[in-house]
Amino acid sequence: MTSVSDLIATIDPGRPLLLLDADEVLLRFVERLEQYLATQGAELRLSSFQLSGNIFHRGSETPVPPEHVRDHIAGFFDACVDDVPLVDGARDALDGLREVYQIAILSNVPSRCRDRREASLKAQGLDYPVIANKGEKGPGARTLADAVSAHTVFIDDLPPQHTSVAAHAPEIHRVHFIGDPRLAKLIGKAPDAHVRFNDWPTLGDHLHALAQGQRP
């Protein structure tokens, strides 16, 4: 199992480090979750940028309670972590970035599903180490950034994770990215992110510019 300390042992301190979230950055999480919920007699109604309060039993106007949302998400990971498709353009962009950046995936996937997530990503052409983080990502990002003298980039869809990284490692370049266009319309740029992108070709250009020293 890859941990932060395992990854540090393999890092080249002289190369830039790219830390990627998985869901809605690399993987079409919401799209696959909707398919899973349909098998459970439930549905996701995207009226705000969150899951709690937006999952309903089919035909009901009352959202399922938070504890049932947690049960649905746990069931989703157990049933579907192996077959969540990639966000369009992610593989091609990372193929062009891997010669410049050291790439790792910092995901809040349940630890019991880490190996399956890593295997699924590898099968789809993304052969990068996966760290199963829990909770805020700032502490882990801080430790990893300390292992390199070059710059570190952090990419995530959730604003609170940018706030966490900004608090623990403010020098990390923080990119807010949302792969699902429906979700992207529901929220503006995370206040603690430096920039926001919603497609991988544009993001890839930005990351190449950073690697060439063209920091914004």
* CATH code, 101: 3.40.50.1000
To the nearest whole number, what is the mean pLDDT of the chain?
94
Q: How many CB atoms lie within 10 A of CB 185?
A: 12
pLDDT at 94: 98
Query: Does 124 reside within a domain?
Result: yes
Q: Please tell me the predicted confidence (pLDDT) of residue 215.
A: 53
pLDDT at 6: 87
> What integer pLDDT is reported at residue 212 of this predicted model?
85
Q: Are residues 95 and 174 in the same domain?
A: yes
| pLDDT tier, 1 (very low <50, low <70, confident <90, very high otherwise) | low
The model's confidence at residue 28, banded by pLDDT at 50, 70 and 90, is: very high
pLDDT of residue 70: 93
Q: How many domains does the chain have?
A: 2
200 or 59, greater pLDDT = 200
Mean pLDDT of 168-188: 97
Q: Strand pairing partners for 15?
A: none
Q: Are residues 54 and 136 in the same domain?
A: no
The whole-number pLDDT of residue 109 equals 96
4: pLDDT confidence band, cut at 50, 70 and 90? confident
* pLDDT (mean) for 155-175: 98
Structural domain range at position 35: 30-80
> Domain check: are 107 and 71 in the same one?
no
- φ, ψ (nearest 5 deg) of residue 57: -70, 140
Q: Are residues 43 and 23 in the same domain?
A: no
Q: Same structural domain for residues 43 and 98?
A: no
**Phi/psi at 139 (5° precision):** -60, -45
* 60-86 per-position pLDDT tens digit: 999 999 999 999 999 999 999 999 999
> Among 1-15, 87-101, 139-153, which stretch is predicted with the lowest mean pLDDT?
1-15
Residue 216 has pLDDT above 70, yes or no: no
Stretch 32-57: mean pLDDT = 92
Percent of the chain with pLDDT over 70: 98
Looking at the fold, whether 9 and 34 belong to one and the same domain comes out as no
Residue 216, in any domain of the structure: no
Cα separation, 47 vs 24, in Å, equals 17
Q: Which residues contact 72 (CB under 8 A, 6 or more apart)?
A: 36, 37, 40, 42, 55, 64
Q: Do 139 and 175 reside in the same domain of the chain?
A: yes
Verify that 148 and 190 share a domain, yes or no.
yes
pTM score: 0.94
pLDDT digits (tens, 9 = 90+) for 76-128: 999 999 999 999 999 999 999 999 999 999 999 999 999 999 999 999 999 99
pLDDT surpasses 80 at 17: yes
Regarding whether 24 and 9 lie in a shared domain, the answer is yes
The reply to whether 162 and 75 lie within a common domain is: no
* 137 plus 182 within the same structural domain: yes
Q: How confident is the model at residue 214 (pLDDT cuts 50, 70, 90)?
A: low
